Amino acid sequence: MDTQMRGAALSRFRDEFRRVRAGLAARPTAPPNQLRGLRIRLRIFLDEHRRALARDEAAAVRALMEEVDHTIAKL
C-alpha cells in the first residue's frame, strides 16, 4: 500500500469517527459498538502497515485511536 492509499485510508477513518461522534451527539444513549469497531480496524491497520507507515502517519493513527478511546470512556 503506497503513501497516498494509506493517507486515504486514514482520512476515511477520520471521517467515520466524525460521523459516529455526530451520531452519538444526536443519540447519547447509543451503544459505542461503532466506536469499538473503528478502534479495532485502526489497530489492525496500524499492525498491518507498521513498517510502511512514516513516523508522522503512525502517530496520526495512534492519536486517532486515543481520541476514539477517550470518546468511548465518556459514554
Give the pLDDT mean for 41-70: 90
pTM of the predicted structure, to 2 decimals: 0.79
Where in the chain are the domains?
A: 3-74
Give the pLDDT mean for 10-32: 81
For 7, half-sphere exposure in the C-beta direction (CA atoms, 13 angstrom radius) is 5
Q: How far apart are CA 58 and CA 14, in angstroms?
A: 14
Is the model's pLDDT at 40 over the cut of 90?
Answer: yes
Which pLDDT tens digit goes with each residue over 49-60? 888 888 888 898
Is the model's pLDDT at 30 over the cut of 70?
Answer: no
Is the model's pLDDT at 31 over the cut of 70?
Answer: no
